[in-house]
Structure 1
Amino acid sequence: MSTMTMLLNELAPEARDQLLRQARPVRFPADTHIFRERQHADRFWIIEAGRVDLDKHLPGRGTARVDTLVPGDLLGCSWLFPPHHWRFDATTTTEVHALEFDGQAVRELCAQDTSVGEAVSAAVAAAVARRLLE
C-alpha cells in the first residue's frame, strides 16, 4: 500500500474529505517537466496513473535518477519545508493522471486541524525516508 493511500485511509472521514476538497485532477503528457530543481515549490500530487522520474543534477557528474514514482506515490515534498524550493527535477515518462494539491492551502488546513497535519507530515516524512533509503 502506498504512503498516500495509507494517509487517506488513516484520516477520519471528515478530515479526508477536507484534504480531498483541496485536490483537482490534472493530466500531464509523456515527457513533460512537472517541475525543476530550485524552482518555487507550491504544490504536490498524488499519482493516479503513469510514471514520473525524479532526477538530481550533480555538479561535475551529470544527472542521477533518484526515484521513479508510480500510481499511489506522492510527487513533491518540498512544498512543506521552507524555503519551498524543489530539490529534484520531475519528468513524466508516460502520460500521468494525478490529484494536484495547493501547498499553501494544505499547510493552512494542517495548521487548523492537527489530525490532518500529523497525518500529512507523517506521509511526507515516509516518502522522504523511502527515497533516501532506497
Structure 2
Amino acid sequence: MTTLSVFDLLALHDFVTDMPVHWMHRLSWAGRPVYRAAGHRLCREDGPADRFWLVHSGTVAIDLFVPGRGDVTIERLGPGSVVGWSWLLPPCRWRFGAVVAEDMRAVELDAVRVHKLMSEDPGLARDLSRRFLAVTGDRLAAARHRLVELYAVAP
C-alpha cells in the first residue's frame, strides 16, 4: 500500500487543488495526515483555534451551543471540505464547534506554521484569505439557515 505525502494529499483536495505548486509545497510543511474516529471532538466553540482540517473522507458535524438545547448541528461537511477558519483572525477562538460524525481522514494544518508562511509571502496570504473568506461566508449562511429552521414558528 502506498502512503501519500502531505503534498500529495493537498494536491488532491478541492480547497487548494488550483493553488500554485510552490505554495502547496510550503503548506505541506505545516500539515500532517490524521485519522479521527466518529465521536472525536475536533474543536469546541470559544476554545483556542490553532489548526484546521482539509477533509478527505468521512463527515464532520459543525455545531453551535444553544442554551437549553445543547450542541445543535448546523451543517455537515464531507470530503473536499475545510473545517476551521477561526484561526485566521485574532482572537483565534473557535466560532463553532466540530465533531467527527463518520470516521475522518484529513490533512491537519498547524495554524502557527501557516501564519508564519503567510507573513513571509503576501501573495500566499492574499490567496488563503480569499479562500477562507468564501468558507466563512458559507458557514455563516448555513448557521443562519439552520437557526431559522430551529426557531421558525409553525403557522
Decide: shared fold, TM above 0.5: yes
The residue aligned with 1:7 is: 16
Secondary structure at the residue paired with 1:100? strand
What is the aligned counterpart of 1:23 among 21, 28, 31? 31
Aligned pair count?
Answer: 130
Distance in structure 2 (CA, Å) of the matches to 1:38 and 1:93: 20
Q: CA RMSD in A?
A: 1.5
Contact map agreement 1:53 1:91 (CA 8 A) in 2: yes
Give the superposition deviation at 1:115. Answer: 1.9
Secondary structure at the residue paired with 1:84? coil
Summarize deviations over 1:5-50 as a string: whole Å, max 9, x none.
Answer: 24331x2211121112211000101111111111111011100100
The percentage of counterpart residues that share the same residue type is 32
Give the superposition deviation at 1:104. Answer: 0.8
Contact map agreement 2:51 2:110 (CA 8 A) in 1: yes
Bigger Rg, structure 1 or 2: 2
Worse-matched range after superposition: 40-49 or 54-63 = 54-63
Look up the equivalent residue of 1:5 and give its one-letter code.
Answer: D
Look up the equivalent residue of 1:91 and give its one-letter code.
Answer: V
Distance in structure 2 (CA, Å) of the matches to 1:29 and 1:108: 30
Contact map agreement 1:40 1:85 (CA 8 A) in 2: yes
The runs of at least 4 consecutive aligned structure 1 residues that moved more than 4 Å come to none
Asked whether 1:88 is paired with 2:92, we answer no
What is the aligned counterpart of 2:71 among 31, 42, 63? 63
Secondary structure at the residue paired with 2:16? helix
Give the superposition deviation at 1:61. Answer: 4.6
The residue aligned with 1:105 is: 113
Distance in structure 2 (CA, Å) of the matches to 1:42 and 1:34: 11
Contact map agreement 1:7 1:119 (CA 8 A) in 2: no
Give the superposition deviation at 1:111. Answer: 1.3
Q: TM-score normalized by structure 1?
A: 0.89
Distance in structure 1 (CA, Å) of the matches to 2:16 and 2:127: 6
Query: Which structure would you say has the larger RCO, counting Cα contacts within 8 Å and 6 or more residues apart?
Result: 1
